[in-house]
Amino acid sequence: MNTEKTIGQRFKEAREKKGISVEEVSKKTLINRDYLIAIEEDRICDIPAPVFAIGSIRNYAKFLNLDAEQLVEESKHIYPVKPLDKPLDLQQTKILSLRKKSEKEKYLYYAILTAIFILLVFAGFVTFKIISAAPKKNYKTESAERRAKNILVLKTTQDVWVKIRSDNKTIFEGVLPPNTNKRFELENKASIRIGNIPGIRIIYNGHLMEVPKQIPGRVGEITLK
């Protein structure tokens, strides 16, 4: 056993003989850079857990072609640990590192999903508010306007008594004076009774209607479909 040099000095001397830096060792062995420096400076107790301390010493020693088990035994009086069922080799160190990385990625994934869900809920809420605030159309009025598509226009040259009925209701009844131009909107078919046929012109949906000849003493009647 070499008692002249400390454990850390032997590690540092072996590394410098290989001509590599601590950073290069850390990249190739996946051992934390701070752990490597702590080993070389004989500050093994600064490594957080005994398992990582012993594992780092063993893997570092193997990398430098030193007697790994001898150095582990020597370090136990500095950092006593319970014997492990299996040595923590380089492969196990890599697995632990990958597990930590995987857990971080998993938490990040869930955080992103949560953020997306919150944004979707917020967007839905804003859309609902915008739709609710928009002026509502009076569909009943629009529907009635669509149905009232039959246009009746009465033009008079004399006094004419007129009675208009549609859907069993009287739409208009009265005397229209000369030079009257009166417009009606009808939803369905209608009937017109006229007291003075020669004094009126009937235009229905843009077409001039033929009127029956006046029979003395009788009221003329026209049915519009």
Query: Token pair for residue 119?
Result: 């944004």
Residue 146's pLDDT is 54
Residue 75's pLDDT is 86
Residue 57's pLDDT is 95
Q: Do domains 7-88 and 147-224 have the same CATH topology?
A: no
Q: Is 159 exposed, middle or buried (0-12, 13-18, 19+ CB in 10 A)?
A: middle
CATH architecture assigned to 7-88: Orthogonal Bundle (1.10)
**Cβ–Cβ contacts within 10 Å for residue 134, how many?**
8
Residue 90's pLDDT is 62
**Rounded Cα–Cα distance for residues 167 and 187 (Å):** 9
Residue 1's pLDDT is 47
Q: Which regions of the chain are under pLDDT 70?
A: 1-3, 79-94, 134-148, 214-218
Write down the pTM of the prediction.
0.36
For domain 147-224, say whether CATH 2.60.120 is its number.
Answer: no
Q: Domain boundaries in the chain? A: 7-88, 147-224
Residue 140's pLDDT is 55
